[in-house]
Amino acid sequence: MRLLTEIFGGFISVGSIALIVVFQQEIRRFLLHIGKNISLRRNRLFMSLFLNKNDVEKDNTARLKPIIDACRSMQKSRTGALMVFSKYFDEEYYQNSGEFIDAQVSKRLLESIFQKHSPLHDGAVVIVDFKIKTASCILPLSDSEDLPLQFGLRHRAAIGVTEMSDAVAVVVSEETGEISYAKQGNVNMNIGYEDLERLLNEDL
């Protein structure tokens, strides 16, 4: 029995180390996610203590204006677009497949990226804290079988990224010009500019 106990104990210790080695990236990402969420809560607590809520909303509205204006322009020109708004930038998740930009959001920059002849127009733009971090980012597609047949790659990618993270996504359809808003794997279709601004204000 003592020998068996030592053997099983050895297996358990070796197995624990093997699990850590095999899943080290997932463990690192999980711990990083927890750490950044704690940091976000501290920042929000600081803002709630020292900043007036109306001032924060006005500031967000001003920073959302170039995004709303870009969506309005791309809707009129039927320019397809996919924008992901994330609370933090996971380099392993977003940067591996995209072009790192790290530039302040502007209407002209968004229009230039998604312009049909731009080499960056395919894929998604990832925006963190109102800065464009990457463009032409390839996202995982949703595996859901309940999605409408008319959904293309942009809508499926928007749903996929919001299923796997706490990010939200905005899609401008190239075929119809409709604006869609994805969150937690669900999509609001054909929303107006006021609704888009309200949703982004609430989630950002």
- pLDDT reported for residue 64: 94
pLDDT at 124: 94
Determine the pLDDT at residue 71.
96
**Average pLDDT over all residues of the chain:** 81
pLDDT at 85 over 80: yes
Question: What six digits make up the tokens of 88?
Answer: 């933090």
How far apart, in whole angstroms, are the C-alpha atoms of residue 115 and residue 84? 17
Reference 84, options 39, 97, 29; nearest CA is 97
pLDDT, residue 199, reads 94
pLDDT digits (tens, 9 = 90+) for 7-33: 656 656 655 665 565 556 555 555 555
Q: Is the dihedral of CA 83, 164, 204, 103 positive or negative?
A: negative
Q: How far is CA 62 from CA 27, 52, 55, 66, 107, in A?
A: 38, 16, 11, 8, 13
C-alpha span between 75 and 172 (Å, rounded): 6
**Among candidates 98, 135, 95, which has minimal Cα distance to 114?**
135
Q: Is the pLDDT of residue 188 over 70?
A: yes
> Which of 170 and 12 is assigned the larger pLDDT?
170
Identity of residue 3: L
pLDDT category, 148, cuts 50, 70, 90?
A: confident
| Model pLDDT for residues 21-71, shown as the tens digit of each residue | 555 655 555 555 555 555 555 555 555 555 555 555 566 788 999 999 999
Tell me what pLDDT residue 14 has.
58
Q: Give the count of beta carbons closer than 10 Å to the beta carbon of residue 104.
A: 11
- Say what the pLDDT of residue 136 is: 93
Whether residue 168 is predicted with pLDDT greater than 60 in this model: the reply is: yes
For the chain, give the percent of residues with pLDDT over 70. Answer: 69
Please tell me the CATH code under which domain 67-203 is placed: 3.40.1700.10
Tell me the whole-structure pTM to 2 decimals: 0.71
